[in-house]
Amino acid sequence: MNYQQVIEKTYTKVLAEKNLGSLANYIPELSKIDSKKFGVHISTTDNKEFYTGDSSEKFSIQSVVKVFSLIMAYRLLGRNTWDRVGVEPSGTAFNSLVQLEADKGKPRNPFINSGALVICDMLISNLQNPKQEFLNFINTVSHNSDIQFSQKIISSEKLVGFRNIALCNYIKSYGNIENSPEEVLDLYFTICSIEMSCQELSRASLFLANNGRTLATQEQILNSSQTKRINAIMQTCGFYDESGEFSFKVGLPGKSGVGGGIIAIHPSKYSIAVWSPKLNAKGNSYRGMKFLEQLTTQLQSSIF
Amino acid sequence: MNYQQVIEKTYTKVLAEKNLGSLANYIPELSKIDSKKFGVHISTTDNKEFYTGDSSEKFSIQSVVKVFSLIMAYRLLGRNTWDRVGVEPSGTAFNSLVQLEADKGKPRNPFINSGALVICDMLISNLQNPKQEFLNFINTVSHNSDIQFSQKIISSEKLVGFRNIALCNYIKSYGNIENSPEEVLDLYFTICSIEMSCQELSRASLFLANNGRTLATQEQILNSSQTKRINAIMQTCGFYDESGEFSFKVGLPGKSGVGGGIIAIHPSKYSIAVWSPKLNAKGNSYRGMKFLEQLTTQLQSSIF
Amino acid sequence: MNYQQVIEKTYTKVLAEKNLGSLANYIPELSKIDSKKFGVHISTTDNKEFYTGDSSEKFSIQSVVKVFSLIMAYRLLGRNTWDRVGVEPSGTAFNSLVQLEADKGKPRNPFINSGALVICDMLISNLQNPKQEFLNFINTVSHNSDIQFSQKIISSEKLVGFRNIALCNYIKSYGNIENSPEEVLDLYFTICSIEMSCQELSRASLFLANNGRTLATQEQILNSSQTKRINAIMQTCGFYDESGEFSFKVGLPGKSGVGGGIIAIHPSKYSIAVWSPKLNAKGNSYRGMKFLEQLTTQLQSSIF
Amino acid sequence: MNYQQVIEKTYTKVLAEKNLGSLANYIPELSKIDSKKFGVHISTTDNKEFYTGDSSEKFSIQSVVKVFSLIMAYRLLGRNTWDRVGVEPSGTAFNSLVQLEADKGKPRNPFINSGALVICDMLISNLQNPKQEFLNFINTVSHNSDIQFSQKIISSEKLVGFRNIALCNYIKSYGNIENSPEEVLDLYFTICSIEMSCQELSRASLFLANNGRTLATQEQILNSSQTKRINAIMQTCGFYDESGEFSFKVGLPGKSGVGGGIIAIHPSKYSIAVWSPKLNAKGNSYRGMKFLEQLTTQLQSSIF
């Protein structure tokens, strides 16, 4: 099966269909994006790359970054990570405080906002300069050196991030945040502001399809067992309360962000990044979901 | 890798460790089982079988049966199945009515009790003699002819099944049950009472690892895409609110029952059934979970 | 202040305004009522009566009956009543199961459906012939002898009462129903079917304004302290999740039913019954609420 | 009935019984109070005063202050107050965010923390110098001039007030806070820190028993109808999720605080303040509740 042909055919097909949904509008920076942007990039474990559309244009990856922050924390804390954050799907909307109340401040998983805030707290407690070390890590796994935070996005988020401020203080009230909420929120808003292209995202996550080892430098980011576990969490929790739907339709572990980006992993085969800014009602990229569903059907390449 | 050796080694290791948890005690029939029972059976897509322990002894498969009732409904109704039951993990305990209230009578997925009741309702609406046809189906996929319902279990369940009666009437009040609650509950209690051995369960579910086709008769039970979707639902929803944990630790789609049975599928490779009656706090087999976690670690054979 | 004048003036004023809301439509019997019916009857502790409109026409009192069933149980069990049902407002809609799950089967108060079911269970456990004794009690306190159950309403309710069946079985699953759910539901549907006029209702509840003693026969139904407690529960829980609103606007203890009836008590002064079948969004009589608000404003006679 | 005798007899009786419960311990200032403190003060509408115990010693009135902040907002905004905060009992613990999520940022009533924060926001939007004007108001209604905020308490609260910070930001995310969360929280922590004696509290709330008019200066603080409504809210919502219990046992509108203070109003008769610092499991003064229950039983003076 020729990946490039299938990508292009699926891309053309999805492009011909209606571009439904709407742009994230809670901060001006995200609502100003051209809603017709659409890019795809696949990196395979046998060192090939296939791409089409706006695949080299940077965008705000937002919650996709939670995969990388989780991995950094997991490298630092190992299985102790799970003492403070669970691995169960949340069953409710991504910013819900209800579950948190029921679970006394332990977020259900590291991909909902509350869980990602606890992960940021772990990074602050364990790193000298978490922001710089985070950038270093992203630049290392993506074989790049110009991935940056967006100060504009950070400022925008801080102006409207009342729900995240609420979440962080709420968890703090249960004792599951060690540092000051201000510091944790600052790191959270900062890493979510990172801008990457599909190319960079796909490359950066390829080690998750390669048993934890980067292809270019053969660096072991996670061991094989840890890699499987990160993939498992993406499978069950990567798409908020549409995780079951994504698993059902696409059949790959993945993670989405409100910037319209999605990464998905086919263990031992490839990593893929898709970007299209319009979001469905659950907050996931409308075309991104559609593209991946049709792609895995074409390739018959779900993990199931 | 020699499956038989790994099975036996893992079996011995788990057997040597403490047998924690407790028997299901809500009906006398289940609490009278010998808690030391422990069996395993693997069937591979290249037509081999490996087993150890009490693998040919029949037990009450309980909720494991929900995989088969779902498949029967899916064969009858196709994608219309999902109009009345979702594919999202529930995020709460298996018998919770809260989610059902929030979702106005549409169960989150077909593996929680509420979802399985709606599936039973579909079978009644679409089959002449649902109980007999269900037995026929199970006997077909397991290449067997003496799998039966247990009248004792049915009677016991009916005496204490107030929560299931509540669930069924509650869904009926939202209009998502077409037949009388009594009829639906009767079918539900009946199919949950079915008794099978690990050998029979493993054989019966092998087609899920074989793109939907039975190995012995080459009958196409589900098409390839449908098969992947059933596996995907097992992955995200098969273990109540321990589904994330199972996905995380075992990394295979699976389904458990309060009788202590678990099936798990490695697509394209094998189906496995494990049985050990003592349950952990979440209602899943304590030793079954442990055995599968160690087995997939040994075999390095998770789907991730 | 002349009660008769104020009643008539207020009646005329409310009658001139729009008759908003809609008839209870879950059973045909209730939806067939003439929506223009409107009656009022006041009985005072100095033995006077004032009335206007359709005050002597019988209607289905529905949940208003829960005051009388509670009183019967309270007479039998005294403070032990509160071991199985609380006295707190529910904060959620009248048929919600959520609270019941959080409180492990103990209803928040005796006026939500779940609480009234537990009260029925108490009556069955403590009376030889609960239905007849209930009728006797109602006929006694209302100085009447022809108050009856409506077989038509009972049959209608049973055909659609899935949510109440769910509630009763759910509470049974927590062990807070002693008798069979069928028996409890039968009594519940039966007493809710009772038909009374405003005149009868007002007379029947006058002892609650008279320290627990009937005016005609000077029979002590409840002692003074018990009477205050029943009134207190009506004040905080009598109108489902509109109890605060009723307390705020009307300022009297009271109880409503989906038949459009409302009773309210001014301790030491009077009992009043109003009937108008159209219900607001919370399930309380639209005109009944309006009439009582304007009446207590005119009379300056709230308890606050 | 002689109030002074009844107060003293009841005081002696409660003092002789065990002093159960525990001090509020979330801030050091509150946990350092002498747990044996116990004072009572009644002010009657015929201008008499009765008191015993530590009735003239100042303590931290905490949430009791919410009655006064509500009244200030109600005087400024009239019925528009209720557009942004409800009048229904909450049915859940005083700091719960669940209800707030269900109600999209509109607090159920002005006495739970979320509601009191919205009230503070109203004061900031409508007053030049809310802190000073609040002090002026309290000093006016209590005929006093030395009631002050406690800087120590304010500082302590700010160090641990993560849940209130969470609440305020959460409501802000729904748009129901107009000013900055910092400003709102500052006013909230400030007014909650106010220190008053039973004597001052009882005098300050006497107008609520006097149709809204102060006794000393005959100033109309609220009109008669508004006064009844404030009392009604206290009746249904004054004691968090023990409001029904208080209504049931004491039968008067009232409000408690975690400093161990309680005020209660007998419309047209008297206002009473009790103080005893040990709290029951629901956060209300153990001895205060007990004293008031026995007092109203002795006086036969509940509003029911």
pLDDT band at B95 (very low <50, low <70, confident <90, very high): low
pLDDT band at A25 (very low <50, low <70, confident <90, very high): confident
How many A-B residue pairs are in contact by the CB < 8 A criterion? 113
Across the interface, do C98 and B96 touch by the CB < 8 Å criterion? Answer: no
Q: Is the pLDDT at D29 greater than 90, yes or no?
A: no
CA distance C213 to chain D (A): 14
- Active-site residues of B, by number, are 63, 66, 188, 240, 258
In the residue annotation, D26 being an active-site residue is answered as no
CA distance D94 to D23: 17
pLDDT score of D99: 78
pLDDT score of B93: 61
CB burial of A96-106 (b: ≥16 within 10 Å; e: otherwise) equals bbbbbbebebb
Kindly state the average pLDDT of the residues A30-41. 95
Residue in chain C lying closest to D304 (CA): C228
Q: Which of D240, D270, D278, D290 is catalytic?
A: D240
The answer to whether C285 and C278 have CB atoms below 8 angstroms apart is yes
- Residue-wise pLDDT for D200-244, tens only, equals 999 999 999 999 999 988 999 999 999 999 999 999 999 988 889
pLDDT score of B83: 97
Residue in chain A lying closest to B265 (CA): A304
Residue in chain A lying closest to B93 (CA): A91
Kindly state the average pLDDT of the residues A178-205. 97
**ipTM (interface predicted TM):** 0.91
CA distance A229 to chain B (A): 5
The answer to whether B124 and B184 have CB atoms below 8 angstroms apart is yes
pLDDT band at C100 (very low <50, low <70, confident <90, very high): confident
pLDDT score of A138: 96
Across the interface, do A163 and D181 touch by the CB < 8 Å criterion? Answer: no
**Percent residues over pLDDT 70 in chain A:** 98
What 3-state DSSP class applies to A1?
coil
Q: Which of D3, D188, D270, D286 is catalytic?
A: D188
The larger pLDDT score, comparing residue A25 to residue A267, is at A267
Across the interface, do B232 and A225 touch by the CB < 8 Å criterion? Answer: no
pLDDT score of B125: 98
Paired residues of A264 in beta bridges: A254, A272
Q: Which of A202, A258, A276, A286 is catalytic?
A: A258
Decide: residue D143, CB within 10 A, 0-12 exposed, 13-18 middle, 19+ buried.
middle
CA distance C255 to chain B (A): 25
Residue in chain B lying closest to C96 (CA): B101
For residue B162, which residues of chain C lie inside 8 Å, CB to CB? 169-170, 172-173, 181
- Of A246-250, B100-104, B236-240, D235-239, give the lowest mean pLDDT range: B100-104
pLDDT score of A94: 52
Kindly state the average pLDDT of the residues C262-269. 97
Across the interface, do B242 and A297 touch by the CB < 8 Å criterion? Answer: no
CA distance C119 to C71: 10
Residue in chain A lying closest to B100 (CA): A91
Instruction: Return the structure tokens found at D278.
Output: 């040990």
Among D98, D121, D157, most A C-beta atoms within 10 A, so best to mutate, is D98
For residue D169, which residues of chain A lie inside 8 Å, CB to CB? 162-163, 165-166, 169
pLDDT score of D41: 98
For residue D297, which residues of chain C lie inside 8 Å, CB to CB? 225
Question: From start to end of C113-165, where are the E strands?
Answer: none
For residue A98, which residues of chain D lie inside 8 Å, CB to CB? 97-98, 101
Across the interface, do B237 and A251 touch by the CB < 8 Å criterion? Answer: no
Q: Is the pLDDT at D92 greater than 70, yes or no?
A: no
- Residue-wise pLDDT for B145-155, tens only, equals 899 999 999 99
CA distance C253 to chain D (A): 8
For residue B98, which residues of chain A lie inside 8 Å, CB to CB? none
- Residue-wise pLDDT for A75-125, tens only, equals 999 999 999 999 998 876 655 777 788 788 999 999 999 999 999 999 999
- Domains contained in chain A, CATH given: 3-299 (3.40.710.10)
Instruction: Return the structure tokens found at C293.
Output: 């608000």
Instruction: Return the structure tokens found at A243.
Output: 């995780």
In the residue annotation, D63 being an active-site residue is answered as yes
pLDDT score of A273: 98
The answer to whether D89 and D244 have CB atoms below 8 angstroms apart is yes
Across the interface, do A169 and D165 touch by the CB < 8 Å criterion? Answer: yes
Kindly state the average pLDDT of the residues A224-248. 92
CA distance D122 to D84: 9
Residues of chain D in Cβ contact (below 8 Å) with chain C:
86-92, 99, 108-109, 224-225, 227-229, 231-233, 235-237, 241-245, 247-249, 251, 253, 267, 297, 300, 302-304
Residue A280 makes CB contacts below 8 A (sequence gap 6+) with A20, A21, A242, A286, A289
Between strands D261-266 and A195-196, the pairing is unpaired
Task: Give rounded-to-5 percent helix, strand, coil for chain C.
Answer: 50, 10, 35
Closest Cβ opposite residue D297 in set C92, C99, C225? C225
pLDDT score of D79: 95
For residue D170, which residues of chain A lie inside 8 Å, CB to CB? 97, 162-163, 166, 170
pLDDT band at C302 (very low <50, low <70, confident <90, very high): confident
Residues of chain C in Cβ contact (below 8 Å) with chain B:
96-98, 101, 162-163, 165-170, 172-173, 181
Work out the angle at residue A22's Cα, subtended by the Cα atoms of residues A19 and A23, and round it to the nearest 5 degrees: 115
Question: From start to end of chain D, where are the E strands?
Answer: 39-44, 49-53, 59-60, 195-196, 254-256, 261-266, 270-275
- Residue-wise pLDDT for D133-165, tens only, equals 999 999 999 988 899 999 999 999 988 899 999
Residue in chain B lying closest to C168 (CA): B166
The larger pLDDT score, comparing residue B45 to residue C243, is at B45
- Residue-wise pLDDT for C31-59, tens only, equals 999 999 999 999 999 999 999 999 999 99
pLDDT score of B192: 97
pLDDT score of B172: 97
pLDDT score of A92: 67
Instruction: Tell me the angle at which helices A113-126 and A181-192 cross, rounded to the nearest 10 degrees.
Output: 110
Kindly state the average pLDDT of the residues A209-231. 95
CA distance B237 to chain A (A): 8
pLDDT score of C163: 92
CB atoms within 10 A of CB A268: 12
Closest to A170 in 3D by CA, of D301, C22, D164, D221: D164
The rounded mean pLDDT for chain D is: 94
Kindly state the average pLDDT of the residues C250-279. 97
For residue A165, which residues of chain D lie inside 8 Å, CB to CB? 165-166, 169, 181
Residue in chain A lying closest to B249 (CA): A229
Across the interface, do A90 and B88 touch by the CB < 8 Å criterion? Answer: no
Closest Cβ opposite residue C248 in set D224, D227, D229? D229
Question: From start to end of C46-200, where are the E strands?
Answer: 49-53, 59-60, 195-196
**What radius of gyration do chain A's Cα atoms show?**
18
- Of A186-190, A249-253, B126-130, C90-94, give the lowest mean pLDDT range: C90-94
Kindly state the average pLDDT of the residues A28-41. 94
Residue in chain D lying closest to C88 (CA): D244
Closest Cβ opposite residue C228 in set D241, D245, D304? D304
Closest Cβ opposite residue C304 in set D89, D231, D247? D231
Residue carrying structure tokens 């006495």? D111
Closest Cβ opposite residue B97 in set C162, C165, C170? C170
The answer to whether C271 and C41 have CB atoms below 8 angstroms apart is no
- Residue-wise pLDDT for A273-301, tens only, equals 999 999 999 899 999 999 999 999 998 88
Kindly state the average pLDDT of the residues C60-84. 97
Q: Is the pLDDT at D94 greater than 80, yes or no?
A: no
Q: Chain centroid to CA C281: how far?
A: 18
Instruction: Return the structure tokens found at A26.
Output: 């809670």
Closest Cβ opposite residue A169 in set D96, D98, D162? D162
Kindly state the average pLDDT of the residues A139-159. 92
pLDDT band at D93 (very low <50, low <70, confident <90, very high): low
CA distance B264 to D118: 52
The rounded mean pLDDT for chain C is: 94
Residue in chain D lying closest to A98 (CA): D98
For residue A162, which residues of chain D lie inside 8 Å, CB to CB? 169-170, 172-173, 181
C contact chains, 3+ CB pairs < 8 A? B, D
Q: Is the pLDDT at C94 greater than 60, yes or no?
A: no
CA distance A291 to chain B (A): 16
Half-sphere exposure of A299 (CA within 13 A, CB side): 26
Phi, psi of C17 (to 5 degrees): -85, 165
pLDDT score of A28: 85
**Percent residues over pLDDT 90 in chain B:** 84
Indicate the DSSP class of residue D208. G
- Active-site residues of C, by number, are 63, 66, 188, 240, 258
CA distance B217 to B227: 17
The rounded mean pLDDT for chain B is: 94
For residue D233, which residues of chain C lie inside 8 Å, CB to CB? 244, 247-248
